[in-house]
Structure formats: structure tokens, C-alpha cells
Amino acid sequence: MIVTSTLHNHCDMCDGRCSAEEMIEAAISAGFTDFGLSCHSYAPFDLDYSIKDEATYLHKLAELRKKYEGRIRIAYGAEQDLFAPVRYRDAYDYIIGSVHYLRDNYGNYHTIDGSLADIMHTLDKVFAGDTMALIADYYGNVVRVAEEQRPDIIGHFDVIKKTNGGNDWFSEDDPAYRKLAIEAIRRTAKIGAVFEVNTSPLFKKLDLDVYPSPFLLKELLSLGANVMINTDAHCTEQLVYGVDQTIELLRDIGFRQIMLWSDGKFIKRDL
Ligand SMILES: [Zn+2]
Ligand SMILES: [Zn+2]
């Protein structure tokens, strides 16, 4: 197995469907040496999706590490939203920096990680139908999470395309879109974080490439950025979904190495 670690995983402490123990048992069965739990950081404006209490979450992580000692190493992670930074940063082994919302001028949050209807509503009400203005706002937030919060991992870089599997509201080939995405990835890459290649669009059958799309992965390769593969699993059946296919994709693009997490730190592994 090439990919022996997985760092972007949720459980029923946030919006995942399986318990942490179920996820970890599945990770042991799959042969991982290192498993990181990365529940959504506490977001008071969206408690359905985030953890309810950070201290309880950290306590649970400590309990899990102890319980599974000798069987698999448990890493303490969080998927930190731009608008919901963790309180106890030093308690974590790593932070995934992600954008899930846009915030309007009145302080209201609008998910970009929901349905097509959600995003169409936001496009209409907040951006007066200006697609590129919405996308520019999204990528502005991605750059902010990187530059202001310095995460260890950049989460699902172009998740803004999530609802666009049928090219319903923009084209990834549109030069205006590409310019926004490329400029954002160049700025984001400057902080030196690891970019995850997130396979969840494959699991969800969204008719989309992984995050980031191949044209962005090519840019990362030319920038010399480090990448890792994560499945963003919200349940056990998602834990390794799309990993083999993504290894092939990365090889085809020209990547020779990926990052793994091993015993508390990143290491490089040849592809
Ligand atoms: Zn996310
Ligand atoms: Zn996630």
C-alpha cells in the first residue's frame, strides 16, 4: 500500500455518519499506520455540521489515541473553516484549512458546500447573478485561510465546483475562471502547506474530477508544491475510495512523490 496515512476524516462528532471508533477500525482493516480525525472546527453559526465543543473533541482524541495504541497511530486534526478557527491550536498535530462559506456584507453565512439550489440562491441574492464575482469571493477566502491562518494542509482547494458537475453555472474552461483559480493557487502555494488531493467528488459521483482539478494539479507540480491524497471520509465506505485512481492521475500528471503522515510528521513517499 502506497498511501499508509489518511488525515481528512470526519465522524459523528461533526457531520460524519460513523462513530470515530468505526472509522478507526476500518482504517486498521485497510492497513493504515496513521489515522487522523479532522472534524469540522466549532462553528456557532452552523452547529449541524461542526463539533459542538472543542474541549470534548480533544478529550475524545486523547482517549482514542490511548485506546488504539499499538494498533494504529491517531493524529489530532481539525478541518478549520476560515470563519471558525480552532481555539486550542497547539493541541493539534495538524490543521486543514478549508472554505465552506461566503460571508455577505451583513455578516450572514452562505454555504458553498451545499446544493445547487443553495448556491443559486446566494448567486442571486448576494452577487446579483454575477458568477465570477461569487467565484472571486470564494477564492479570496481560500487565499485568506492560507495567509491568515497558516494551515498545514489546504483542504479541497476548488470545492466551489462541487455543484457544477453538469457545468450548470460556470465552465472550468472559461479563461476568467481559470485566471481566478490559478492566481489563488499561486498565492496559496507560497505558504508552503501541503495540498490535499481530495477524492470525495469520486465517492459522491458528482461527475467531477478530484479537488483540485487536473489543470490546477499541473500548476502545483510546476510550483513544486507538495500533495497528499485524502478521501474526506464521512463514513467507513468512503475511507479509501478513489485513492488508487488518484495515484494513477498524479503519476500521469507527472508527480513523482506524495506526502504521507508518519508518527507525528510529514514524510515523502515515491509514487
Ligand atoms: Zn470541507
Ligand atoms: Zn471534510
What is the 6 CA–ligand 1 centroid distance (Å)? 15
Confidence of residue 208 (pLDDT cuts 50, 70, 90): very high
Give CA–CA dist 175/95, Å, rounded.
32
Strands 101-103 and 109-111: antiparallel
C-beta pairs of 118-125 under 8 Å, 24+ apart in sequence:
118/163, 119/163, 119/169, 120/169, 123/169
What is the 8 CA–ligand 1 centroid distance (Å)? 9
pLDDT at residue 233 in the model:
98
What is the 131 CA–ligand 2 centroid distance (Å)? 25
Least confident of 14-23, 79-88, 199-208: 199-208
What percentage of the chain carries pLDDT values higher than 70?
100
- Whole-number Cα distances in Å, 56 to 8, 139, 163, 209: 19, 32, 33, 36
265 DSSP β-pair partners: 262
What is the 230 CA–ligand 2 centroid distance (Å)? 9
What is the 231 CA–ligand 2 centroid distance (Å)? 9
Q: Which ligand lies nearest to the CA atom of residue 234 in the structure?
A: 2
Q: What is the mean pLDDT of residues 13-24?
A: 97
pLDDT, the chain, mean: 97
What is the 73 CA–ligand 1 centroid distance (Å)? 23
What is the 215 CA–ligand 2 centroid distance (Å)? 22
- Whole-number Cα distances in Å, 124 to 9, 110, 130, 138: 33, 12, 8, 15
Beta strands in 124-211 (DSSP E): 153-154, 194-198
What percentage of the chain carries pLDDT values higher than 90?
97
pLDDT at residue 152 in the model:
98
pLDDT at residue 1 in the model:
85
Q: Which ligand lies nearest to the CA atom of residue 10 in the structure?
A: 2
Give CA–CA dist 163/207, Å, rounded.
10
CATH number of the structural domain spanning residue 153: 3.20.20.140
- pLDDT tens digit string along 77-128? 999 999 999 999 999 999 999 999 999 999 999 999 999 999 999 999 999 9
What type of residue sits at position 2? I
For residue 146, pLDDT beyond 90: yes
- pLDDT tens digit string along 221-267? 999 999 999 999 999 999 999 999 999 999 999 999 999 999 999 99
Confidence of residue 20 (pLDDT cuts 50, 70, 90): very high
How many folded domains does the chain comprise? Answer: 1
What is the 9 CA–ligand 1 centroid distance (Å)? 10
What is the 48 CA–ligand 1 centroid distance (Å)? 14
pLDDT at residue 213 in the model:
98
Full residue range of the structural domain in which residue 213 is found: 5-270
For residue 6, pLDDT beyond 90: yes
pLDDT at residue 8 in the model:
98
What is the 19 CA–ligand 1 centroid distance (Å)? 18
For residue 41, pLDDT beyond 90: yes
What is the 8 CA–ligand 2 centroid distance (Å)? 6
What is the 232 CA–ligand 2 centroid distance (Å)? 5
What is the 253 CA–ligand 1 centroid distance (Å)? 25
Give pTM, 2 decimals.
0.98
Nearest CA-CA partner of 173 in 215, 206, 134: 215
pLDDT at residue 180 in the model:
98
pLDDT at residue 64 in the model:
98
Q: Which ligand lies nearest to the CA atom of residue 43 in the structure?
A: 1
Confidence of residue 57 (pLDDT cuts 50, 70, 90): very high
For residue 26, pLDDT beyond 90: yes
Q: What is the mean pLDDT of residues 56-85?
A: 98
